[in-house]
Structure 1
Amino acid sequence: MDTSNIFHPSLAATIMKLDPEDGEQIMEYLQTQALLTREKALLQASVREQKKLLVENGKLKKDIEQLRVQLQEKQRRRVAKTLFSSAPPTPSQGPAPPTPATPTGASVPSSSSSHEQRARQGRRRRGERKAPATCDALALRVEPRVDVSRLDLRVGRILSARSHPLVESMSIQEVDVGENAPRRVVSKLGEKTQLEELQDGLAVLLCNVKACKLRGVVSQARLLCCSTSDDCIELLAPPTGSVPGDRVTFLNYPGDSDRELQSKQKVWELLQPDLRVDNRGVANYKGCGFEVKGKGLCRAPSLTNCTIK
């Protein structure tokens, strides 16, 4: 083996002089180790270059997204500008055109026809003033999404449960949802529900509903239940290992929840028909499971093929 391309000739000669029998094998071993060291250095440099390219790729993606948003905004402005500029001028934008003189021998219109003409012109002017604003509003309006990502669903621990003082079919729960203070929830859980069995149990709560009074008691959240009838009701159960404050999310519906659901938009009413428990007992929205990341799926304790409310 030729070792002169890696080691100095004097080093090879020295090794051969010290150990004539095994000198060649020693040189081969040293050359192999040198080649391995060189390949390792090249590999490490390649990994560093790959990481650098990944970082640069992430920055480019971010820049492209920002440019896309800016382009969409410019297109909206261009559409609005075009709509405004294409609208015919209103009477306030310039003097009225001169009335042409009546040719000799032409008949003079009657007072009734002049009145109808002025009325038509007035209606046309009113339409011209309203048209730009209406078209502009339609061009720039963005419809809000209506999917389950708008719901703020969290795991809560029921600290106490008692009957409502005024309504026999209702109950009041104090629930820890990972905040500084527990939330009070007014629920209708059915006559068969044993309130003492709920204490210290985990449940799933809708936390961004607007607080409201139910028979004199303020309710600050909504307990999610599954039911087949008014008498057969179960609280939705989070996966084992969940703790108060854990978020319930949906893999196919990313996004931030609303700060507070507006009653006028009726988001809950629109989504609730698609919230169901399947034949395996798993809670889902349009086939996508209620998930606590890293811990599992929310389920009904015993019911299947039923609604969530």
Structure 2
Amino acid sequence: MRGENHMMLVLFCLIVFSHFLPLVNSNPQLAPAFYVFGDSLLDSGNNNLLPTLARANFKPYGVDFPGGATGRFTNGRTVADFIAEFLGLPLSPPYLSFRRLETSTGLNYASSTCGILPETGTSAGKCLNLDEQIDLFEKTVREDLPKLFKNTEGLLEYLSKSIFLIATGSNDYSGNYLQPNSYDSSRLYSPLSFAQLLTQSLSQKLERLYKLGARKVITFEIGPIGCQPAISRRYMDRYGQCVEEINSLVSLFNDQLATVLSRLTSTLPGSAFILARDYRLTYDAIKIPLPMLDGQFRYF
């Protein structure tokens, strides 16, 4: 990501940090582990090992990352990388390409093109939908992590203090609902009922994470996908920079997501399901970019 996209990545971090600070203490390492779930915003290399066209293990990806093109869908670090550094933890390695018993500081299960619904993203090849990502996390909890702890109580305490990050849902729109030639979801569901389908499904998956031991969960809103070049350029003559009709679709999801996370926090003992409100900040960053200084974007 370059220019305004990199700027938005930094803004994402600031949003998460502002929500996250009340949950942690003042120790240099703010949590024992950081577990990551989602799509291309957070994928750190899982798709490299899947039979899919959606890979980022070649240039220009990774040109500003110390490890080069690792499979991250950005020129540099992902928002998950920034947060891991903020927590005082190593970057969470991709689950599929790491010897998992060697780490207790977290793993990354994110997979580009996939989403909340199992069919989303399959037109590009194999990806890990959110249920499959949680399946892998369950395997981590049931098979790998117990070997690193003396007893179940120690494992549960570790999980309760760990941080879980989720960014998913945008592909369910851009790669499913808005692709009527490949998927029939837009014919089966109204915009409101599709948002309800997604949030109800996501709620069930979050409850599943809770049952596996997760207690501190940060979930991103879906960003203004109507402003993504891949979408907006289709309608440039009619709409300009952003297609507000498409943005309104994800706003329905975001509104319901806030309600879902609030309900989960109030009903699941000891939990904190936090909404990272990045939609408006991202939208404003696109519409009113930061000033240029000597031909470069000014970053925070």
Q: TM-score, normalised by structure 2?
A: 0.19
Higher RCO (Cα < 8 Å, 6 or more apart): 2
Which of the pair is proportionally richer in strand?
1
